[in-house]
Amino acid sequence: MSSPRRLQLALFLLGAAVFGYLIARIGVGRLVSDATRTGWMFIPIVLLYALVYACSALAWQLTMGDSNRPSFWRTYAVLISAGALNFLTPLINAGGEPFRVAALAPWLGKRRAAGSVILHRMLHSFTYVLVWFTAVGLAFALLPRETPTAVFASLGVVALVLVGIIALFVSAHRSGVLERILNWLNRVPLLRRLGGALEPKRALLVELDEQITEFYHRQPGRFVQAILLEYLSRCIFMLELVLIVASLGFGLSYLLAFTIGGLEAIAGNVLFLVPFEIGAREGAYYLLFKLFGLDPQLGLYTSIVGRVRDFAWIAAGLLLIWAVGAPRPIAAPTAPAARSE
């Protein structure tokens, strides 16, 4: 068995083991019961995420250039598999990024593939922050008047922090960030050892920085398109809350769903140390539904159905690990194509 296939087997077994653990932890009976209660609405809830992945895959392709890149469908399958591996990697949610680099390397080469994955991850994270900022703004307009002043003050602080993060992201795309991170590591006493270990990779980090800044400066149209596609993917995702609540016979406006979903995402990232967000997601939805004057039990149910959707796509991603490992026709890249990203 070749090394790539051994890696695929190891990732599949590891992911399947964690997947089985999560199912056992929550309970098969509970998952089946919740899916049954949702009824036929569970089908569009699951399929909705196919559109989320499609928008993100298109955004990712924009970072690769036009020539010598994998097809949309292979990119789509790699992204779904990487998403499953990210979810199954406790704490850091980064297990899928090396997989993405390896999957793209036959087309782009290792360095261009790494640059594309890093750039897409930065665009993805940047868009998340924009969505969070939008949700905070909507919260000021949609929260009940009797909401405690402390809540509005906290939202104001969060908004200021998000503005700062947005500024950092824009700076990173304009002038690079990887070499600056290395320089920062070398200046921090407790992190100098890590900086020293990464120092031999400085030339590679500079090259990856150049890919990131070139995409921003030389292809601003593609940069904006990628941001808009990622933002659209989050807008589509927020429809899930509307569908889940509707499956119980209740109504939830889209703007309120967007607000609750965006604020829950902020809470989930603040509590990133909780593996798989076990309990954190449920608690956040429960409190947010209550905060906006809704039945908090709806929030708990929304979280549980969201986890069932997670499991459906994790299973699909694990199966697609094998599909994306199939060999591709050999096509030698030309010199101009190597500069098309």
Condensed to tens digits (0 to 9), the pLDDT of residues 215-244 reads 878 888 889 999 999 999 999 999 999 998
pLDDT at residue 162, rounded to an integer: 94
Neighbour tally for 240: CB within 10 Å: 21
- The mean pLDDT of 331-335, rounded to a whole number, is 42
Distance of CA 43 to the CA centre of its chain: 22
**81 occurs within a structural domain:** yes
Structure tokens at 332: 């030698």
Rg, Å, the chain Cα set? 21
In the chain, where does DSSP find H-type helix? 3-26, 28-38, 42-62, 72-87, 96-108, 110-142, 149-175, 178-187, 192-198, 202-218, 220-237, 239-246, 254-270, 280-291, 296-323, 335-338
3-state secondary structure of 190: helix
Distance, CA of 293 to CA of 283 (rounded, Å): 16
Measured distance between the N- and C-terminal CA atoms of the chain, rounded to whole angstroms:
33
> What mean pLDDT value characterizes the chain?
80
Is residue 120 predicted with pLDDT exceeding 60?
Answer: yes
Q: DSSP readout, 116-154?
A: HHHHHHHHHHHHHHHHHHHHHHHHHHHS-TTS-HHHHHH
Please identify which residue in the block is written with the tokens 């809704």. Answer: 294
Closest CA to 120 of 205, 227, 206: 227
**2 occurs within a structural domain:** no
- The mean pLDDT of 260-280, rounded to a whole number, is 72
Condensed to tens digits (0 to 9), the pLDDT of residues 164-200 reads 989 888 887 777 777 777 777 777 776 777 777 777 7
CB 85 within 8 A of CB 99: yes
**5 occurs within a structural domain:** no
**339 occurs within a structural domain:** no
**53 occurs within a structural domain:** yes
3-state secondary structure of 200: helix
Condensed to tens digits (0 to 9), the pLDDT of residues 34-45 reads 667 777 888 899
Q: Which residue has the higher pLDDT, 187 or 89?
A: 187
Condensed to tens digits (0 to 9), the pLDDT of residues 136-156 reads 999 999 999 888 999 999 999
- Supply the range of the domain harboring residue 212: 11-325
Neighbour tally for 123: CB within 10 Å: 24
Structure tokens at 266: 């902020």
Q: Counting Cβ atoms within 10 Å, is residue 250 exposed (0-12), middle (13-18) or buried (19+)?
A: exposed
Q: How confident is the model at residue 337 (pLDDT cuts 50, 70, 90)?
A: very low
- The mean pLDDT of 289-297, rounded to a whole number, is 88
3-state secondary structure of 227: helix
Q: Positive or negative, the Cα torsion across 296, 297, 302, 304?
A: positive
**305 occurs within a structural domain:** yes
- The mean pLDDT of 114-126, rounded to a whole number, is 89
pTM (predicted TM-score): 0.80
Structure tokens at 48: 């909705």
Structure tokens at 145: 């008047």
**3 occurs within a structural domain:** no
**334 occurs within a structural domain:** no
pLDDT at residue 111, rounded to an integer: 82
CB 89 within 8 A of CB 97: no
Q: Which residue has the higher pLDDT, 270 or 1?
A: 270
Domain count, the chain: 1
Structure tokens at 249: 């016979």
Q: Which residue has the higher pLDDT, 222 or 88?
A: 222
Is residue 275 predicted with pLDDT exceeding 90?
Answer: no
